[in-house]
Chain A
Amino acid sequence: DTGVSQDPRHKITKRGQNVTFRCDPISEHNRLYWYRQTLGQGPEFLTYFQNEAQLEKSRLLSDRFSAERPKGSFSTLEIQRTEQGDSAMYLCASSRGLAGDGETQYFGPGTRLLVL
């Protein structure tokens, strides 16, 4: 069990540029979640996948944001035309997607984005 991994760990970009983050969940975890965390706040839900199906999207996920999980394994989160307000930590989590213990989410280290 290697844990949830995210790449890159840090990203600095200029306003207006596009960025893409990757998340690799724990193997055999069917559900994958994206959250955004700003400094000093709790994480806020963005979206989640059951295998390759995107089941829920937050209203925080504007048209500039898109997430995919094409083969039900890793996932990507893309932000187009970045704005300074997008600066945050982007967290990925995964779970087995089964009732009971299987609903517990395990988090990756996050990708810290800074938009200049």
Chain B
Amino acid sequence: AQTVTQSQPEMSVQEAETVTLSCTYDTSESNYYLFWYKQPPSRQMILVIRQEAYKQQNATENRFSVNFQKAAKSFSLKISDSQLGDTAMYFCAFMTTFYNQGGKLIFGQGTELSVKP
């Protein structure tokens, strides 16, 4: 069974600085998807970034980038130039692919990020 582990329950960062959130996962599959979702306080889950395992290039979305290390089964999220609006719970998630009958997301426990002014 696949598992996702986020070992940092809480983190804080000063506004405009860079922060990295860690995620490790376990799977025996060779192709899959990894996601980072953001859940602001009392607001809905929003997709931050998506990575396909067969792509060696790390995904980037504006100030958000990932460091995907497939052999180490590691998928960290780097937030550059942190903004107050980045304050949220961040979840790492794993999904098998469509062709492998994928469907459900398997989430980590989350990392609560606070951006300080």
Contacts and interface: CB of A to CB of B under 8 A. Distances in A.
A45 interface: yes
Contacts, number: 61
Interface string A66-107: 000000000000000000000000010100011110111111
A87 B103 CA distance: 25
B21 interface: no
Interface stretch (B62-70, B78-86, B104-112): B104-112
Contacts of B43: 109
Contact of B97 (A42, A44, A103): A103
Given A98-B98, A99-B97, A104 B35 contact: yes
B77 interface: no
Contact of B104 (A33, A91, A107): A33
Interface of A: 31, 33, 35, 40-45, 48, 55-56, 58, 91, 93, 97-100, 102-110
Contacts of B44: 107-110
A46 B104 CA distance: 9
A34 B43 CA distance: 17
Nearest to A35: B105
